Chains A and B, each alone.
Chain A
Amino acid sequence: MKFFQLFSRPQSAPAARERLQVLLAHERASAGDSDLVAKLRDEILRAISKHMQIDDDKVSVKMERGAKVSTLAVDIEIPFDAGKKAA
Protein backbone atom coordinates (compact mmCIF):
# COMPACT_ATOMS: atom_id res chain seq x y z
CA MET A 1 0.00 0.00 0.00
CA LYS A 2 1.25 3.40 -0.93
CA PHE A 3 1.84 5.98 1.77
CA PHE A 4 -0.92 8.34 0.63
CA GLN A 5 -3.49 5.58 0.53
CA LEU A 6 -3.36 5.38 4.30
CA PHE A 7 -5.25 8.65 4.43
CA SER A 8 -7.54 8.27 1.45
CA ARG A 9 -10.76 6.36 0.86
CA PRO A 10 -10.43 2.64 0.23
CA GLN A 11 -10.17 1.65 -3.43
CA SER A 12 -13.43 0.75 -5.16
CA ALA A 13 -12.12 -1.01 -8.27
CA PRO A 14 -11.33 -4.32 -6.49
CA ALA A 15 -14.95 -4.49 -5.30
CA ALA A 16 -16.19 -3.87 -8.85
CA ARG A 17 -13.94 -6.62 -10.14
CA GLU A 18 -15.03 -9.14 -7.53
CA ARG A 19 -18.76 -8.41 -7.89
CA LEU A 20 -18.52 -8.77 -11.67
CA GLN A 21 -16.65 -12.04 -11.49
CA VAL A 22 -19.25 -13.63 -9.20
CA LEU A 23 -22.22 -12.24 -11.12
CA LEU A 24 -20.95 -13.21 -14.56
CA ALA A 25 -20.00 -16.71 -13.44
CA HIS A 26 -23.64 -17.22 -12.52
CA GLU A 27 -25.10 -15.45 -15.55
CA ARG A 28 -22.95 -17.49 -17.93
CA ALA A 29 -24.02 -20.71 -16.21
CA SER A 30 -27.70 -19.81 -16.31
CA ALA A 31 -27.56 -18.86 -20.02
CA GLY A 32 -27.47 -22.59 -20.81
CA ASP A 33 -30.37 -23.23 -18.41
CA SER A 34 -28.08 -25.04 -16.03
CA ASP A 35 -28.43 -22.70 -13.08
CA LEU A 36 -28.52 -25.29 -10.32
CA VAL A 37 -29.62 -23.00 -7.53
CA ALA A 38 -32.58 -21.66 -9.49
CA LYS A 39 -33.52 -25.19 -10.54
CA LEU A 40 -33.42 -26.41 -6.95
CA ARG A 41 -35.56 -23.50 -5.82
CA ASP A 42 -38.23 -24.25 -8.43
CA GLU A 43 -38.27 -27.97 -7.77
CA ILE A 44 -38.42 -27.62 -4.00
CA LEU A 45 -41.38 -25.28 -4.30
CA ARG A 46 -43.07 -27.62 -6.78
CA ALA A 47 -42.58 -30.60 -4.48
CA ILE A 48 -44.05 -28.73 -1.53
CA SER A 49 -47.01 -27.47 -3.50
CA LYS A 50 -47.97 -31.09 -4.16
CA HIS A 51 -48.68 -31.55 -0.50
CA MET A 52 -49.99 -28.20 0.59
CA GLN A 53 -51.28 -24.97 -0.83
CA ILE A 54 -48.40 -22.53 -0.78
CA ASP A 55 -49.39 -19.14 0.54
CA ASP A 56 -46.98 -16.65 -1.06
CA ASP A 57 -46.86 -14.54 2.08
CA LYS A 58 -45.80 -17.52 4.16
CA VAL A 59 -42.91 -18.55 1.98
CA SER A 60 -39.56 -16.87 1.97
CA VAL A 61 -36.89 -17.94 -0.48
CA LYS A 62 -33.45 -16.48 -0.07
CA MET A 63 -30.59 -17.01 -2.45
CA GLU A 64 -27.07 -15.88 -1.90
CA ARG A 65 -24.76 -16.38 -4.83
CA GLY A 66 -21.13 -16.61 -3.93
CA ALA A 67 -17.94 -17.31 -5.84
CA LYS A 68 -17.29 -20.72 -4.28
CA VAL A 69 -20.54 -21.50 -2.47
CA SER A 70 -24.12 -20.43 -3.01
CA THR A 71 -26.81 -20.89 -0.40
CA LEU A 72 -30.51 -21.44 -0.82
CA ALA A 73 -32.81 -21.00 2.16
CA VAL A 74 -36.47 -21.92 1.83
CA ASP A 75 -38.52 -20.98 4.85
CA ILE A 76 -42.16 -22.08 4.80
CA GLU A 77 -44.81 -21.81 7.44
CA ILE A 78 -46.81 -25.02 7.47
CA PRO A 79 -50.17 -24.53 9.15
CA PHE A 80 -51.55 -27.34 11.32
CA ASP A 81 -54.29 -28.26 8.83
CA ALA A 82 -52.26 -27.76 5.66
CA GLY A 83 -52.48 -31.41 4.59
CA LYS A 84 -56.26 -31.51 4.81
CA LYS A 85 -56.72 -28.38 2.70
CA ALA A 86 -54.66 -29.71 -0.17
CA ALA A 87 -56.52 -33.01 -0.19
Chain B
Amino acid sequence: MGKVVVVTSGKGGVGKTTSSAALGAALAQSGDKVVVVDFDVGLRNLDLVMGAERRVVYDLVNVIQGEAKLAQALIRDKRLETLYLLAASQTRDKDNLTPEGVEKVIAALKKTFDWVICDSPAGIERGATLAMRHADVAIVVTNPEVSSVRDSDRIIGLLDSKTLKAENGERMEKHLLLTRYDPARAERGDMLKVDDVLEILSIPLLGIIPESMDVLRASNVGSPVTLADGRSAPAVAYFNAARRLKGEDLPVTIPGEKRGFFGKIFGRKAA
Protein backbone atom coordinates (compact mmCIF):
# COMPACT_ATOMS: atom_id res chain seq x y z
CA MET B 1 0.00 0.00 0.00
CA GLY B 2 1.30 3.40 -0.97
CA LYS B 3 1.42 6.49 1.17
CA VAL B 4 -0.92 9.40 0.53
CA VAL B 5 0.73 12.79 0.93
CA VAL B 6 -1.13 16.11 0.77
CA VAL B 7 0.82 19.23 -0.17
CA THR B 8 -1.15 22.13 1.27
CA SER B 9 -0.78 25.69 2.57
CA GLY B 10 -4.01 27.68 2.74
CA LYS B 11 -2.41 30.63 1.02
CA GLY B 12 -1.93 30.68 -2.74
CA GLY B 13 1.32 31.24 -4.56
CA VAL B 14 3.62 29.85 -1.89
CA GLY B 15 4.85 26.91 -3.97
CA LYS B 16 2.45 23.99 -3.52
CA THR B 17 2.46 22.97 -7.18
CA THR B 18 6.20 23.56 -7.61
CA SER B 19 6.85 21.48 -4.50
CA SER B 20 4.42 18.71 -5.49
CA ALA B 21 6.16 18.37 -8.85
CA ALA B 22 9.68 18.58 -7.43
CA LEU B 23 9.09 16.15 -4.55
CA GLY B 24 7.16 13.78 -6.81
CA ALA B 25 9.98 13.76 -9.32
CA ALA B 26 12.64 13.41 -6.60
CA LEU B 27 10.86 10.36 -5.15
CA ALA B 28 10.48 8.89 -8.65
CA GLN B 29 14.16 9.56 -9.35
CA SER B 30 14.97 7.42 -6.32
CA GLY B 31 13.11 4.55 -7.99
CA ASP B 32 9.72 4.77 -6.25
CA LYS B 33 6.51 4.70 -8.24
CA VAL B 34 4.82 8.08 -7.85
CA VAL B 35 1.58 9.71 -8.98
CA VAL B 36 0.96 13.43 -8.47
CA VAL B 37 -2.73 14.38 -8.42
CA ASP B 38 -3.92 17.92 -9.13
CA PHE B 39 -6.93 18.83 -6.97
CA ASP B 40 -7.21 22.40 -8.23
CA VAL B 41 -10.33 21.86 -10.34
CA GLY B 42 -10.95 24.83 -12.62
CA LEU B 43 -7.43 26.23 -12.24
CA ARG B 44 -5.16 23.33 -13.03
CA ASN B 45 -1.46 24.03 -13.34
CA LEU B 46 0.41 20.93 -12.30
CA ASP B 47 0.27 19.69 -15.91
CA LEU B 48 1.98 22.88 -17.06
CA VAL B 49 4.67 22.81 -14.38
CA MET B 50 5.40 19.17 -15.21
CA GLY B 51 5.44 19.82 -18.96
CA ALA B 52 2.49 17.56 -19.80
CA GLU B 53 -0.08 20.23 -20.69
CA ARG B 54 -0.45 19.04 -24.25
CA ARG B 55 -0.99 15.43 -23.30
CA VAL B 56 -4.01 15.79 -21.00
CA VAL B 57 -6.93 13.85 -22.45
CA TYR B 58 -8.86 12.79 -19.37
CA ASP B 59 -8.73 14.24 -15.87
CA LEU B 60 -9.69 13.54 -12.27
CA VAL B 61 -13.29 14.70 -12.77
CA ASN B 62 -13.70 12.42 -15.82
CA VAL B 63 -12.60 9.48 -13.69
CA ILE B 64 -14.90 10.43 -10.80
CA GLN B 65 -17.86 10.87 -13.15
CA GLY B 66 -17.14 7.50 -14.76
CA GLU B 67 -16.37 9.00 -18.17
CA ALA B 68 -12.87 7.53 -18.24
CA LYS B 69 -10.97 4.68 -16.63
CA LEU B 70 -8.28 5.63 -14.15
CA ALA B 71 -5.60 4.02 -16.33
CA GLN B 72 -6.70 6.17 -19.29
CA ALA B 73 -6.37 9.37 -17.29
CA LEU B 74 -2.91 8.71 -15.86
CA ILE B 75 -0.20 10.51 -17.83
CA ARG B 76 3.27 9.03 -17.68
CA ASP B 77 6.17 11.45 -17.52
CA LYS B 78 8.31 11.46 -20.65
CA ARG B 79 11.56 11.66 -18.70
CA LEU B 80 10.87 9.37 -15.74
CA GLU B 81 9.28 5.97 -16.12
CA THR B 82 8.00 5.84 -12.56
CA LEU B 83 6.39 9.30 -12.46
CA TYR B 84 2.72 9.79 -13.32
CA LEU B 85 0.33 12.73 -13.32
CA LEU B 86 -3.42 12.86 -12.83
CA ALA B 87 -4.59 16.27 -14.05
CA ALA B 88 -7.46 18.33 -12.69
CA SER B 89 -10.31 19.43 -14.91
CA GLN B 90 -9.97 22.88 -16.39
CA THR B 91 -13.56 23.35 -17.51
CA ARG B 92 -15.63 21.72 -14.79
CA ASP B 93 -16.71 23.17 -11.50
CA LYS B 94 -15.13 22.03 -8.25
CA ASP B 95 -18.52 20.65 -7.15
CA ASN B 96 -17.79 17.74 -9.47
CA LEU B 97 -15.35 16.46 -6.86
CA THR B 98 -17.44 14.20 -4.66
CA PRO B 99 -16.13 12.73 -1.42
CA GLU B 100 -17.07 9.20 -2.56
CA GLY B 101 -15.44 9.69 -5.96
CA VAL B 102 -12.21 10.99 -4.46
CA GLU B 103 -12.15 8.12 -1.96
CA LYS B 104 -12.43 5.55 -4.76
CA VAL B 105 -9.70 7.13 -6.88
CA ILE B 106 -7.28 7.44 -3.94
CA ALA B 107 -7.94 3.86 -2.86
CA ALA B 108 -7.19 2.63 -6.39
CA LEU B 109 -4.02 4.74 -6.71
CA LYS B 110 -2.71 3.52 -3.33
CA LYS B 111 -2.74 -0.04 -4.62
CA THR B 112 -0.38 0.59 -7.54
CA PHE B 113 1.80 3.50 -6.42
CA ASP B 114 4.31 3.91 -3.59
CA TRP B 115 3.39 7.59 -3.27
CA VAL B 116 0.15 9.41 -4.05
CA ILE B 117 0.91 13.13 -3.84
CA CYS B 118 -2.17 15.35 -3.67
CA ASP B 119 -1.51 18.90 -4.81
CA SER B 120 -4.10 20.94 -2.91
CA PRO B 121 -5.71 24.12 -4.21
CA ALA B 122 -5.35 27.28 -2.12
CA GLY B 123 -8.10 28.16 0.32
CA ILE B 124 -9.96 26.04 2.84
CA GLU B 125 -12.94 24.99 0.76
CA ARG B 126 -14.06 21.75 -0.88
CA GLY B 127 -11.02 21.19 -3.11
CA ALA B 128 -8.60 21.74 -0.26
CA THR B 129 -10.51 19.66 2.30
CA LEU B 130 -10.94 16.79 -0.17
CA ALA B 131 -7.24 16.88 -1.08
CA MET B 132 -6.28 16.44 2.59
CA ARG B 133 -9.12 14.07 3.52
CA HIS B 134 -7.35 10.75 2.85
CA ALA B 135 -3.79 11.81 3.60
CA ASP B 136 -1.40 9.76 5.72
CA VAL B 137 1.15 12.58 5.76
CA ALA B 138 0.76 16.34 5.25
CA ILE B 139 3.36 18.73 3.90
CA VAL B 140 2.56 22.32 4.86
CA VAL B 141 4.23 24.71 2.43
CA THR B 142 5.00 28.06 4.03
CA ASN B 143 6.82 31.24 3.01
CA PRO B 144 8.64 33.20 5.74
CA GLU B 145 5.99 35.89 5.62
CA VAL B 146 3.17 36.79 8.04
CA SER B 147 0.11 35.98 5.91
CA SER B 148 1.51 32.63 4.82
CA VAL B 149 2.38 31.62 8.39
CA ARG B 150 -1.07 32.59 9.62
CA ASP B 151 -2.79 30.55 6.88
CA SER B 152 -0.50 27.59 7.57
CA ASP B 153 -1.57 27.69 11.21
CA ARG B 154 -5.18 27.54 10.08
CA ILE B 155 -4.47 24.62 7.74
CA ILE B 156 -2.70 22.74 10.54
CA GLY B 157 -5.91 23.14 12.57
CA LEU B 158 -7.93 21.63 9.71
CA LEU B 159 -5.46 18.76 9.27
CA ASP B 160 -5.98 17.95 12.94
CA SER B 161 -9.78 18.03 12.73
CA LYS B 162 -11.18 17.48 9.24
CA THR B 163 -9.13 14.55 7.91
CA LEU B 164 -10.09 10.88 8.14
CA LYS B 165 -7.08 10.25 10.35
CA ALA B 166 -8.12 12.97 12.77
CA GLU B 167 -11.72 11.76 12.84
CA ASN B 168 -10.50 8.26 13.70
CA GLY B 169 -8.59 9.70 16.62
CA GLU B 170 -5.21 9.15 15.00
CA ARG B 171 -2.42 11.68 14.83
CA MET B 172 -1.84 13.30 11.45
CA GLU B 173 1.85 13.38 10.56
CA LYS B 174 2.69 16.94 9.50
CA HIS B 175 5.86 18.44 8.05
CA LEU B 176 6.84 22.00 7.32
CA LEU B 177 8.40 22.86 3.98
CA LEU B 178 9.74 26.39 4.12
CA THR B 179 9.96 27.80 0.59
CA ARG B 180 11.34 30.98 -0.98
CA TYR B 181 13.72 31.41 1.91
CA ASP B 182 16.33 34.11 1.50
CA PRO B 183 19.12 33.60 4.06
CA ALA B 184 20.65 37.03 3.37
CA ARG B 185 17.40 38.85 4.13
CA ALA B 186 16.78 36.70 7.20
CA GLU B 187 20.29 37.50 8.41
CA ARG B 188 19.63 41.22 7.97
CA GLY B 189 16.53 40.82 10.13
CA ASP B 190 14.08 41.61 7.36
CA MET B 191 12.67 38.12 6.94
CA LEU B 192 11.31 35.66 9.51
CA LYS B 193 14.02 33.15 10.36
CA VAL B 194 13.63 29.38 10.17
CA ASP B 195 13.50 29.15 13.95
CA ASP B 196 10.82 31.86 14.16
CA VAL B 197 8.50 29.95 11.81
CA LEU B 198 9.26 26.62 13.50
CA GLU B 199 8.55 28.04 16.94
CA ILE B 200 5.26 29.58 15.84
CA LEU B 201 3.90 26.60 13.89
CA SER B 202 5.63 23.90 15.97
CA ILE B 203 5.66 21.10 13.41
CA PRO B 204 8.86 19.31 12.30
CA LEU B 205 10.86 20.70 9.41
CA LEU B 206 11.02 18.69 6.18
CA GLY B 207 13.23 21.12 4.31
CA ILE B 208 14.15 24.68 3.41
CA ILE B 209 13.93 25.64 -0.24
CA PRO B 210 15.96 28.75 -1.02
CA GLU B 211 14.53 31.55 -3.13
CA SER B 212 16.08 30.91 -6.52
CA MET B 213 15.89 31.77 -10.21
CA ASP B 214 16.20 28.05 -10.93
CA VAL B 215 12.61 27.44 -9.81
CA LEU B 216 11.15 29.86 -12.35
CA ARG B 217 13.53 28.62 -15.01
CA ALA B 218 12.37 25.04 -14.44
CA SER B 219 8.68 25.94 -14.64
CA ASN B 220 9.32 27.98 -17.79
CA VAL B 221 10.45 24.82 -19.55
CA GLY B 222 7.89 22.56 -17.91
CA SER B 223 10.20 20.49 -15.79
CA PRO B 224 10.23 19.76 -12.05
CA VAL B 225 13.29 21.58 -10.70
CA THR B 226 14.90 18.30 -9.59
CA LEU B 227 14.86 17.16 -13.22
CA ALA B 228 15.70 20.49 -14.86
CA ASP B 229 18.92 21.05 -12.94
CA GLY B 230 19.60 18.42 -10.32
CA ARG B 231 22.60 20.29 -8.95
CA SER B 232 20.89 23.63 -8.37
CA ALA B 233 20.33 24.71 -4.77
CA PRO B 234 16.53 24.26 -4.78
CA ALA B 235 16.86 20.83 -6.46
CA VAL B 236 19.33 19.65 -3.80
CA ALA B 237 16.95 20.95 -1.11
CA TYR B 238 14.03 19.04 -2.66
CA PHE B 239 16.12 15.84 -3.02
CA ASN B 240 16.99 16.06 0.67
CA ALA B 241 13.37 16.75 1.63
CA ALA B 242 12.32 13.66 -0.35
CA ARG B 243 14.90 11.56 1.52
CA ARG B 244 13.54 12.81 4.84
CA LEU B 245 10.01 12.01 3.69
CA LYS B 246 11.21 8.45 3.07
CA GLY B 247 12.30 8.30 6.69
CA GLU B 248 15.98 9.09 6.42
CA ASP B 249 17.40 11.03 9.35
CA LEU B 250 19.14 13.82 7.48
CA PRO B 251 19.98 17.07 9.28
CA VAL B 252 18.44 20.19 7.70
CA THR B 253 20.97 22.80 6.64
CA ILE B 254 19.99 26.41 6.10
CA PRO B 255 20.86 27.23 2.49
CA GLY B 256 23.65 29.72 2.05
CA GLU B 257 24.97 29.34 5.57
CA LYS B 258 28.10 27.52 4.57
CA ARG B 259 29.41 30.46 2.59
CA GLY B 260 33.18 30.68 2.74
CA PHE B 261 35.52 33.64 2.54
CA PHE B 262 34.84 34.44 -1.12
CA GLY B 263 31.16 33.81 -0.63
CA LYS B 264 31.10 36.46 2.05
CA ILE B 265 32.73 39.01 -0.21
CA PHE B 266 30.77 38.17 -3.33
CA GLY B 267 27.79 36.77 -1.46
CA ARG B 268 25.10 38.86 -3.06
CA LYS B 269 26.27 38.19 -6.59
CA ALA B 270 26.76 34.49 -5.98
CA ALA B 271 23.24 34.10 -4.66
**Cα distance A8–B188 when bound, in Å?**
10
CB distance from A83 to the nearest CB of B (A): 45
Interface residues of A, CB < 8 Å — how many? 16
Contact at B146–A13, with CB atoms within 8 Å? Answer: no
Chain A residues within an 8 Å CB radius of B200: 17, 20-21, 24
Contact at A13–B157, with CB atoms within 8 Å? Answer: no
Q: Given A13-B186, A21-B200, do A31 and B157 touch, yes or no (CB 8 Å)?
A: yes
Contact at A28–B157, with CB atoms within 8 Å? Answer: yes
Chain A residues within an 8 Å CB radius of B193: 13
Instruction: Sort chain B's interface into a size bin.
Output: 10 to 19
Apart from A11-B188, A16-B145, A19-B146, 12 more pairs, CB < 8 Å:
A11-B189, A12-B189, A12-B190, A13-B186, A13-B189, A13-B192, A13-B193, A14-B189, A17-B192, A17-B200, A20-B146, A24-B149
**Cα distance A73–B154 when bound, in Å?**
28
Majority SS at the chain B contact face: helix
What residue in chain A is nearest B154 (Cβ atoms)?
Answer: A27
What residue in chain B is nearest A11 (Cβ atoms)?
Answer: B189
Chain A residues within an 8 Å CB radius of B211: none
Q: Is A63 an interface residue (CB 8 A)?
A: no
Chain A residues within an 8 Å CB radius of B191: 13
Q: Given A16-B192, A17-B200, A31-B157, do A24 and B150 touch, yes or no (CB 8 Å)?
A: yes
Chain B residues within an 8 Å CB radius of A12: 189-190
Q: Is B103 an interface residue (CB 8 A)?
A: no
Q: Is A86 an interface residue (CB 8 A)?
A: no
Contact at A23–B157, with CB atoms within 8 Å? Answer: no
CB distance from B44 to the nearest CB of A (A): 31
Chain B residues within an 8 Å CB radius of A27: 150, 153-154
Chain B residues within an 8 Å CB radius of A16: 145-146, 192, 196
Chain A residues within an 8 Å CB radius of B149: 20, 24
CB distance from B124 to the nearest CB of A (A): 12
Can you offer 6 A-B residue contacts whose CB atoms are under 8 A? A13-B186, A13-B189, A13-B190, A16-B146, A24-B149, A24-B153
Which residues 140-156 in B have Cβ within 8 Å of A in the complex? 145-146, 149-150, 153-154
Choose among A11, A17, A21, A23 the residue that contacts B190 (Cβ–Cβ < 8 A): A11
**Cα distance A17–B150 when bound, in Å?**
11
